[in-house]
Amino acid sequence: MKPPPFRYVAPRTVDEAVTALADAGVGGKVLAGGQSLVPLLNMRLVAPSTIVDINGVAGLDAIEVDDDAVVVGATVRHRELERHPSAVDALPVLRQALVLVAHPVIRNRGTVVGSLVHADPAAELPAVLALVGGSVTLVGPDGRREVTAPACFRSAMEFDLRPGELAVAATFPRLPVTTGTAFLELARRHGDYAMAGVCVAVDTSGPVDGGDRDHATVTGARAVFIGVSDTPTPIDLGPHLVGQSTTSLDTDAAVEAARSGLAPTTDIHATADYRRHLAGVLLARALVAAAPTSVATVAA
Mean pLDDT value of segment 122-146: 97
Burial of 267 (0-12, 13-18, 19+ CB in 10 A): exposed
Whole-number pLDDT of residue 214: 56
Whole-number mean pLDDT of the chain? Answer: 93
Encode pLDDT of 56-107 as tens digits. 999 999 999 999 999 999 999 999 999 999 999 999 999 999 999 999 999 9
Q: Which carries the bigger pLDDT value, residue 173 or residue 300?
A: 173
Fold: same for 7-52 and 179-295: no
The rounded distance, in Å, linking the Cα atoms of 181 and 166 is 31
Whole-number pLDDT of residue 213: 47
DSSP E strands: which ranges in the chain?
7-9, 28-31, 50-53, 63-65, 69-73, 135-140, 143-148, 153-155, 158-159, 166-173, 179-186, 196-204, 218-226, 235-236
Mean pLDDT value of segment 111-139: 97
Please, which pLDDT band fits residue 215 given cuts at 50, 70 and 90?
A: low
Residue 1 has pLDDT above 90, yes or no: no
How are beta strands 218-226 and 235-236 bridged, if at all? antiparallel
Alpha-helical (H) ranges within the chain are 14-24, 37-42, 78-82, 85-90, 92-98, 104-107, 112-118, 124-132, 238-241, 252-260, 272-290
The rounded distance, in Å, linking the Cα atoms of 233 and 236 is 10
Contacts of 113 (CB under 8 A, 6+ apart): 32, 72, 73, 74, 75, 76, 136, 167, 168, 169, 170
Residue 110 has pLDDT above 50, yes or no: yes
Domain 63-173 matching CATH 3.40.605.10: the answer reads no
CATH homologous superfamily for the domain 179-295? CO dehydrogenase flavoprotein, C-terminal domain (3.30.390.50)
pTM score = 0.94
Whole-number pLDDT of residue 194: 92
With both helix axes pointing from N to C terminus, report the angle between 272-290 and 252-260 in degrees, rounded to the nearest 10. 140
**What percent of the chain clears pLDDT 70, i.e. is strictly above it?**
94
Whole-number pLDDT of residue 191: 86
Please give the C-alpha separations between residue 90 and each of 4, 84, 104, 172, 291, in angstroms, as whole numbers: 43, 10, 22, 10, 18
Residue 300 has pLDDT above 50, yes or no: no
Please, which pLDDT band fits residue 261 given cuts at 50, 70 and 90?
A: very high
The rounded distance, in Å, linking the Cα atoms of 125 and 127 is 5
Give domain limits for the chain: 7-52, 63-173, 179-295
Residue 192 has pLDDT above 50, yes or no: yes
The rounded distance, in Å, linking the Cα atoms of 121 and 265 is 12
Please, which pLDDT band fits residue 248 given cuts at 50, 70 and 90?
A: confident
Q: What are phi and psi of 274, to 5 degrees?
A: -65, -40
Whole-number pLDDT of residue 295: 44
The class (CATH top level) of 7-52 is alpha beta
Encode pLDDT of 43-61 as tens digits. 999 999 999 999 999 999 9
The rounded distance, in Å, linking the Cα atoms of 184 and 224 is 11
Whole-number pLDDT of residue 190: 85
Contacts of 17 (CB under 8 A, 6+ apart): 11, 30, 52, 54, 57, 166
Whole-number pLDDT of residue 279: 97
Whole-number pLDDT of residue 293: 59
